Chain A
Amino acid sequence: MNDLDVRLRALLPRGRVLTSPAQLAAYGADGLGYKNYRPDAVVLPADAAELAAFMRGAKRLAVPLVMRGAGTSLSGGPVAAQGGVIVHTSALKAVPVINAHGFWCEVESGVTLNDLDAILKPHGVFYPPDPSSGPVCTLGGNVASNAGGAHCFRYGVTSNYVLGVEAVLLDGSVHRFGGPAGGRGPWREDWKRFMIGSEGTLAAFTRFWLRLLPLPEKVWTFRATYPDLTTTEAAIHALVADPSYPAAIEMLDPRGVAMVESSQMACGLPEGSFLLLVEIDGPAPLVDGRVPHVAELLRRAGSTDVTFSEEALIRQKLWKARKAAGGLLGQLSPSYVVQDAVIPKRALAEVLRLVYDEADAAGIRVVNVFHAGDGNLHPNFLFDSRVPGELEKVERISKHLMERVIAVGGTLSGEHGIGNDKSGYMPLVFGPDSMRLQLAVPAAFNPTHQMNPLKVFDDRRFGS
């Protein structure tokens, strides 16, 4: 047993401490599996109280601390980029309060999104943010990266639903930033916005108070295909401005469609088409009345292939191509990088052109998924990290893409966070003054940058 091991065990009498090389290997990567950073140790606190107690002693360990939920981050968030200890929250799984009448719940940070959904459903309420990693990602990871999802066009992202955050700082102090009653009453400092999207750089989250909504009475799903980008854009613009206010507007580009159609998930989509998926929901009489109008809107924009349904099974089929896309990427190539740029919708054609041209020139396959309502573009670059030079090509394309995104007035990340994968692009968006102010925030909470160093800012290093 090494010295770190002994000290960690003293801090975690009930939880677990992993220090053998074969216990650390699995914690080397997040959703970007090809990048590996082996931590010096992993700890699994037995519960929230032990996590808080651990944090009290953690400063004296004098090694970086990295919080980790399910490790599905696509930006290099929960990995030990500067070594140190990974704190895995998998035991923090309680949902102590569901207040369906007050439309809020209290959950621990290791609860997975789909588990929360299942627990809430019988109460007739739901928590709207829906990243597609829902079956496995944790609320801690969601809050720390301000996760979004397909339905965030209408419902908004994680930050719109966090009423309060319980956060443990490196001195062991436990803070409740906000709470079920917002920042009032006994819930003193309402600094939760500092915490949301902080990517593990400020504090360890132990629990949240989340806002809930009544489950929509009725949902209709529409699927339409378009022959070209012009007609697709016409549909997106019309939908965004339409009073039917869709909950989700999702797009898959022709390369994505081709990928689905050449797989076992094929669903008969026309070759070379753009796919749009739209969902409207709400009280039955209201949504039912809007169905013909939305269908007509989709046709008028130029689709001759509009299908829609309210039935769960058919709706699942309509979503199939869009949902299958993520998995098929993995079947096609051993590694992929997904960018997360947000662009003004008017710039879609220009940015897509750049992505296609650069990827084709470099011989890299690319598939684009677009949260079209929010202007959040996900180009997925497929490559093989074992082939020398491929990753570099992808990184070069990504850099050109980001430069163009900034030039058209967009930004780096819509929902995946910056981590260490996109930290190099930060100076492209933010000037030196803004960077200085942003860096002052983690410095206020942990002056030596012990929490998740080398993330968000390239030079945010522990100990310097």
Chain B
Amino acid sequence: MDPEAPSSHFSNCTHCGFCLAVCPTYKLTGDENNSPRGRLRLWSEEAAGRLPRDKWTDFYTEECVGCLACETACPATVPYGQIFERIRHDHVTTGRSHPGPVLRLAAALVTAPFWFNLALLPARLLRRCGLAWPPLLFPGRPPLLQSSAAYAAELMRLRNPTGPRVALLTGCLMEAMFREINFATIRVLIENNVRVVIPEHQGCCGAFQEHTGLGDAAALGARNRKAFGSVEVDAIVCNSSGCGYALGKSLAPDRPVRDVLAFLGDLGPVRRQREPTDATRVYVDLPCHLVHGQKSPGIPAAVLDATGYRWELAPNARDCCGSGGVYNLQKPENARAILAGKAAFLNEAEGAPVVLATSNHVCMMQWNSAGKSGLVKRPYEVRHVIQLLDPGECFGRGSGPA
């Protein structure tokens, strides 16, 4: 770790404590070490040589969900996320933190999209057949063999849209496991007269590396700078808030990255018509990496209105659901406790069916687990907001046409 830079960052923290109130792990434990102000203090004390390396510093570092709510709350604009990423990476490389073998394997695989896609083919198949059992895997019907790039090219040929041009990041897990969301995104964009380009040689956005401290996020960033750097488009868009945040950091300051829903909000998307008797109610949760990472005001009302459904924000929509990228794999008990507080409302929520919609696939996985793990005792469906704009979407049989 660079001894100079972090300590100058840490010292920006005036110790006002405003970040305590929003931190999920502080709310859970009431232990100030487990808060943003506390973690910053542990790291700065260690960097300044006033605190020896200690297993508790490692513990409290691993406890952080990485939700970045503290950045939004901080009046002194302390760049917590940047500091945290650096510390986490440092802890992993120096053996203070030990991500499990599955995460290590995944970290290696996501850098090679072809092999990652192949490795997850059986999982895609199981999801498609409705046989996916792990609580995180939400139902859906991912296309098996056709890639998002091939689908976009085919649909572009058929529909020939003439509007603005966008480059879409297809992502690693998104493409390998939840490809139906990419397909829905492409359909919705093209239906809205948007020309979709899927730049070749793009790779993982680096969020996985940032979440785990494994691998070389900078190398992935360089690859994407090459893939997206020179494409001639009106916007670079992402359909997952976490990937959008990570790609945005890689391409900054030259190429801004937009959330696809914000982009559609500006266009004013085609509105879906629903039957007057349709009693669907959509509860919208806002991913941390959208509101705290990308500092976006949320998902545009114009987009949510265009779904044609009655919608409202889920209670505490800006609070973390506990997903935190891979936090729910690394700290399942904390993740479940954080989710418990958020998801309880679904038990009483009105609507038939009740839909929980968000804009990040890892949050969708976390929300899906609320039902399978018994936190929510009534049926509900989890969707990406873009799927609610998809002409093919309909409830009760997975997630739209392939």
Contact = CB atoms under 8 A, between A and B. Distances in A.
A25 B57 CA distance: 10
B14 A33 contact: yes
A44 B51 contact: no
B30 A88 contact: yes
B17 A21 contact: no
Contact of A18 (B31, B39, B50): B31
A44 B52 contact: no
A70 interface: yes
Contact of A23 (B14, B21, B37, B56): B56
B78 to A, nearest CB: 8
A136 B51 contact: no
B13 A33 contact: yes
Contacts of A23: 31, 33, 56
A330 B75 contact: yes
Interface in A1-40: 16, 18, 20-23, 25-34
Contact of A16 (B13, B31, B52): B31
Interface in A75-119: 88, 90-91, 110, 112, 114
B54 A71 contact: no
Contacts of B31: 16, 18, 23, 44, 88, 90
Size bracket, chain B contacts: 35 or more
B17 A70 contact: yes
B54 A327 contact: no
B82 interface: no
A388 B11 CA distance: 15
Given A33-B15, A135-B18, 14 more contacts: A18-B31, A20-B55, A20-B56, A26-B35, A30-B15, A32-B15, A33-B13, A110-B30, A112-B21, A133-B17, A136-B17, A137-B17, A327-B76, A330-B74
B17 A28 contact: no
A27 B30 CA distance: 12
A20 B52 CA distance: 11
Nearest to A86: B32
A21 B45 CA distance: 11
A60 interface: no
A22 B42 contact: yes
Interface string B19-47: 01110001000111101011101100110
Listed residue (B50, B51, B75) with the most chain A CB atoms within 10 angstroms of its CB? B75
Given A70-B17, A71-B17, A136-B21, A22 B33 contact: yes
Nearest to A25: B45
Contacts of B162: none
Given A22-B42, A26-B32, A26-B41, A328 B17 contact: no
A204 to B, nearest CB: 16
B80 to A, nearest CB: 13
Contacts, number: 113
A326 interface: yes
A330 B16 contact: yes
Nearest to A112: B21
A412 B78 CA distance: 31
Interface residues of A, number: 41
A35 to B, nearest CB: 9
Contacts of B26: 90
Interface of A: 16, 18, 20-23, 25-34, 44, 70-72, 88, 90-91, 110, 112, 114, 133, 135-137, 324, 326-331, 334-336, 386
Contact of B14 (A16, A114, A335): A335
Contacts of A16: 31
A227 to B, nearest CB: 29
Given A22-B42, A26-B37, A329-B14, A88 B32 contact: yes
Listed residue (A21, A133, A324) with the most chain B CB atoms within 10 angstroms of its CB? A21
Contact of B51 (A22, A88, A328, A386): A22
Given A25-B42, A114-B21, A90 B14 contact: no
B73 interface: yes
26 contacts: A20-B55, A23-B33, A25-B45, A27-B32, A27-B33, A29-B41, A31-B16, A33-B14, A34-B15, A44-B30, A71-B32, A72-B17, A90-B31, A114-B21, A133-B16, A135-B21, A136-B20, A327-B75, A327-B76, A329-B76, A330-B12, A330-B14, A330-B74, A331-B12, A336-B14, A386-B11
Contact of B16 (A28, A72, A328): A72
A330 B33 CA distance: 21
A25 to B, nearest CB: 5
